[in-house]
Amino acid sequence: MSTLTFLGAVGEVTGSRYLLEVDGEPRAHRLLLECGMHQGGRDAEGANAVPFGRLADELEAVVLSHGHLDHAGLLPRLVREGYRGPIHCTADTAELLEIMLVDAAFVMAKDVEWENRWRARAGKPAIEPLYDEDDVALTLSLCVPHGYGRPAHLPGGVTLVFRDAGHILGSAIVELTIPSGVQRRRLVFSGDLGNPDSVLMKDPEKVYDADLVLMESTYGDRDHRPLAETLEEFARVLEEAHEDGGNVLIPAFAVGRTQEILYHLSVLYHEGRLRQQMVFLDSPMAIRVTELYARKRKALDPEDLKVLNVAAHGDPSQYLPILRLTRSVEESMAINRIHGGVIIIAGAGMCNGGRIVHHFRYNLERPGTRLVIVGFQAEGTLGREIVDGAERVRVFGEDLAVKARVHTLGGFSAHAGQRELIGWAGAFHDHPRFYLVHGEPGAQRALQAALGEAGIEAEIATYRQRLEL
């Protein structure tokens, strides 16, 4: 009997990982669906450091839904411990991984360097990063890219098909047809389902046939605010910041959210509604991803691109003339000499590191500053502290008062809201078994209840729960 075991993203929104064991002789074929990094606080660091053990040698294949680190960030760690099999993903995800994982290794190396300096002074032993750039290079060499809708054959007689999830470039719904005893079972994993209101991405595909569905539940407890209302509030916040003479800080996820924010800023600019002097994209990774999105225009929503082309007078390369790309540390530091009148988009999206934290040091205590939160903030992150109303936060050992005005704009989310999740689940025929993953407990309970009202029974997955297929 083939089985599925939940190894991550249960009761939380990061660390996605599921083990599939398929009937076989002399032993079962072992496949890993997702290999995500835990994010948010010291507990996450400890979880990421737990060795894969025998799994690294026994796995025959890895399947990825998309390139975000909470779904793919521990792949180089798996490879470091001995995995040498194929990593199946979409072609665009393979290109994104080259940016994401190289950056993750670089940031890790810097963090470990700083940590080891402190350890040396304290007489403590040095530590090593989870992985380095050599591990990333080997990981990338193992990637096997696929197009949407094209069946691929995996060990154990498993068939894989990717469907467009509409979340970020290359994101996929994963369909696996699996031998189990004398039958074949179809497992569908939603990955991260996109928000149909968000720009640039196409709408998530509906899937109709499955025996077992794993569905994300990040925003299972709410519907997103209509995009038109969100855009009006965004424009109003920018106008108020201009009138107050303060800077606007936008912690943005490098993949997807940054490109969406730049899109909306470009439209406001060409409508004459953006009064800031400059927009800084202060994230080397986000810059590289934005350039990748520009090269991958055929994968994006053509209707949204028409708007962009009109706004940019037919020249998409000039869609936001006041945009400044700051790649170097020196360029980033220079921004902090500007006390007002600019928009700063910087990573990390949950404020748990990256250049945005440096900008907090110079802007968070200024009442004229506007901090615009445009993405999900996981428990244990600095961003979550601020969203939850912290009056003071700790940044690089300094105690900072949060005097900036904080605005949370949920309508920009790249995740499906509760209504969209229920609609996607309701498309399946013949009542498959549903398990909710990738969500915090409150959101999962709310979605479970809402699905029940819609006549769809769903269970909430638990850590190391093992299902027979």
User: Model confidence over 272-304: pLDDT tens digits?
Assistant: 999 999 999 999 999 999 999 988 988 888 888
Nearest to 460 by CA among 117, 4, 11, 1: 11
Q: What are the pLDDT digits (tens) for 27-43?
A: 889 999 999 999 876 78
Q: Which of 373, 393, 412 is the last residue in one of the domains?
A: 412
pLDDT computed for residue 34 by the predictor: 98
Same domain, 214 and 237: no
pLDDT-derived band at 327 (thresholds 50, 70, 90) equals: very high
What percentage of residues in the chain have a pLDDT greater than 70? 97
Same domain, 179 and 115: yes
pLDDT-derived band at 313 (thresholds 50, 70, 90) equals: very low
pTM: 0.90
pLDDT computed for residue 191 by the predictor: 97
pLDDT-derived band at 308 (thresholds 50, 70, 90) equals: low
Mean pLDDT of 255-264: 92
Same domain, 404 and 444: no
pLDDT computed for residue 309 by the predictor: 60
Q: What are the pLDDT digits (tens) for 117-131?
A: 989 999 999 999 999
Mean pLDDT of 92-118: 92
pLDDT computed for residue 240 by the predictor: 96
Same domain, 172 and 162: yes
pLDDT computed for residue 43 by the predictor: 83
* Averaged pLDDT of the chain: 93
Question: What is the domain extent for residue 63?
Answer: 3-222+414-468
Residue 326 is part of a domain; what is its CATH number? 3.40.50.10890
pLDDT computed for residue 188 by the predictor: 98
pLDDT computed for residue 414 by the predictor: 87
pLDDT-derived band at 23 (thresholds 50, 70, 90) equals: confident
Same domain, 109 and 182: yes
Same domain, 346 and 392: yes
Q: Which of 412, 444, 460 is the last residue in one of the domains?
A: 412
Is 307 a residue whose pLDDT tops 80?
no
pLDDT computed for residue 377 by the predictor: 86
Same domain, 87 and 235: no
pLDDT computed for residue 39 by the predictor: 85
Is 315 a residue whose pLDDT tops 60?
no
Same domain, 324 and 442: no
Same domain, 7 and 100: yes
Mean pLDDT of 2-13: 94
Is 310 a residue whose pLDDT tops 60?
no
Q: Which of 367, 392, 412 is the last residue in one of the domains?
A: 412
Same domain, 404 and 445: no
Mean pLDDT of 240-257: 93
Same domain, 27 and 45: yes
Domains held by the chain: number: 2
Residue 43 is part of a domain; what is its CATH number? 3.60.15.10
Mean pLDDT of 101-114: 90
Mean pLDDT of 146-162: 97
Same domain, 216 and 72: yes
Mean pLDDT of 317-336: 90
More confident residue, 139 or 23: 139
Mean pLDDT of 183-207: 94
Is 378 a residue whose pLDDT tops 90?
no
Is 312 a residue whose pLDDT tops 50?
no
pLDDT-derived band at 208 (thresholds 50, 70, 90) equals: very high
Is 329 a residue whose pLDDT tops 50?
yes
pLDDT computed for residue 189 by the predictor: 98
